[in-house]
Amino acid sequence: MQRINEDIRTGNFRQMYLLYGEERYLRRQYRDRLRNAMCGEGDTINTHFYEGKDISVGEIIDQAEVLPFFAERRVIFMEDTGLFKAGGERLAEYLSEANATSFFVFNESEVDKRSRLYKTVQSKGYIVNFEVQDETTLKRWIAGILKREEKKITVSTAELFLEKTGTDMENIYTELEKLICYCLDKPIIEAQDVEAVCTDRITNHIFDMINAISAGQSGKALALYNDLVTLKEPPMRILFLLARQYNMLLQVKELKAKGFDQKAIGAKVGLSPYIAGKYAAQASGLRTAQLKEAVEECVKAEEAVKNGRMNDVMGIEVLIMSMLQRKAYS
């Protein structure tokens, strides 16, 4: 990120940038910053946008071959194309000898670092992985936003807020806007304000789903899953969060077994001591072997969906039922 900031400051831009990773909010922020810096205001002739997996690589190459019209550069933005996972070979070949006046900004959720396109951009441009931010960074960010609004929040209230919102910065920002409006005449945001305004995050549903699976409550586990589907949460995101939660529980359990306390566990896995305590309590009711099996089941479910052996909604239902069946016979 510092490299992009420096490029923007100096005006010396790389010919291509790849912004990828789980933190969508930061990816969009830096994409927009690059756009504002690289493109003339209101210049629609030399600025182009492509999105989705159905874009035409041939059309992009043709566009890149056109010299900019009364401008220093032509800038092509591409978002969630999937080309860094598959199908990017032709574009990689072109980018190795691309028109010097054409610049490229990619914004992708997932990439394969082994792909030819990734390696081409890495050699000729700049790549940033926008990972989920740790709790300390998020608290500082929240405090900074509130300071601009002449408001304050205590550490414990900020932790409660993050427990509600999760670590997704886009969701945090949305909930923070609601909270600021709710506390319009209050200089200090309190716990009861957070409880009154902020909706429970998806990971709370995942937490409850794991509890239901652990207790053998098939109806509740499937109901929680269907609630998330009804709320239009992508099934593969649910699967990712389920796998991450089980993996986190496994780490917490192993650290607890080594004698670490809640504060030390939280520091090692990037959680507040309070949240680490909740994870430790949940993990205590599960055997290490169960947690490892659950992580493996999630990996198998992802492979089944990606290989087309099962659709995503049904795949996760089957995963939940498989875990419940294991519980019944354990």
What residue segments make up the domains of the chain, in order of their start?
2-129, 135-197, 202-329
Per-residue pLDDT, 233:
76
CA distance 246 to 32: 35
The CATH code of the domain at 202-329 is: 1.20.272.10
Range with top average pLDDT, 110-124, 127-141, 153-167: 110-124
Task: Report, as an integer, the average pLDDT of 94-111.
Answer: 96
58 or 23, which is more confident: 58
Q: Which CATH number does the domain 135-197 belong to among 1.10.260.40, 3.40.50.300, 1.10.10.10, 1.10.8.60?
A: 1.10.8.60
Q: What is the mean pLDDT of residues 59-79?
A: 96
Whether the predicted pLDDT of 145 surpasses 60: yes
Q: Of 13-17, 56-60, 247-251, which gets the smallest average pLDDT?
A: 247-251
The reported pLDDT for the residue numbered 329 is: 47
Query: Residues near 158 by Cβ (< 8 Å), separated by ≥ 6?
Result: 139, 142, 143
**More confidently predicted of 166 and 144:** 144
State how beta strands 74-79 and 102-108 pair.
Answer: parallel
Task: Give pLDDT, residue 93.
Answer: 97
Report the percentage of the chain scoring pLDDT > 70.
97
pLDDT at 3: 92
Instruction: Tell me, rounded to whole angstroms, the distance of Cα 323 from its chain centroid.
Output: 26
Q: Check residues 15 and 165 and name the one with the higher pLDDT.
A: 15
Question: What are the distances in angstroms from CA 320 to CA 218, 239, 291?
Answer: 8, 10, 14
Q: How far apart are CA 22 and CA 25, in angstroms?
A: 9
Q: Write the pLDDT tens digit of every residue in 21-44.
A: 988 899 999 999 999 999 988 899
Please provide residue 76's backbone torsions phi and psi, each rounded to the nearest 5 degrees.
-115, 120
Query: What pLDDT does residue 6 have?
Result: 96
Share of the chain above pLDDT 90, in %: 52
At position 178, the amino acid (one-letter code) is K
Specify the CATH number for 2-129; select among 3.40.50.2300, 3.30.479.10, 3.40.228.10, 3.40.50.300.
3.40.50.300
The more confidently predicted of residues 239 and 146 is 146
pTM, whole model, 2 decimals?
0.65
Residue 54 pLDDT greater than 70, yes or no = yes
Helices (H), ranges, the chain: 2-10, 24-38, 57-64, 89-95, 116-124, 135-148, 155-165, 169-182, 191-197, 202-214, 218-230, 235-257, 262-269, 273-284, 288-306, 312-329
Least confident among 57-66, 219-228, 269-278? 269-278
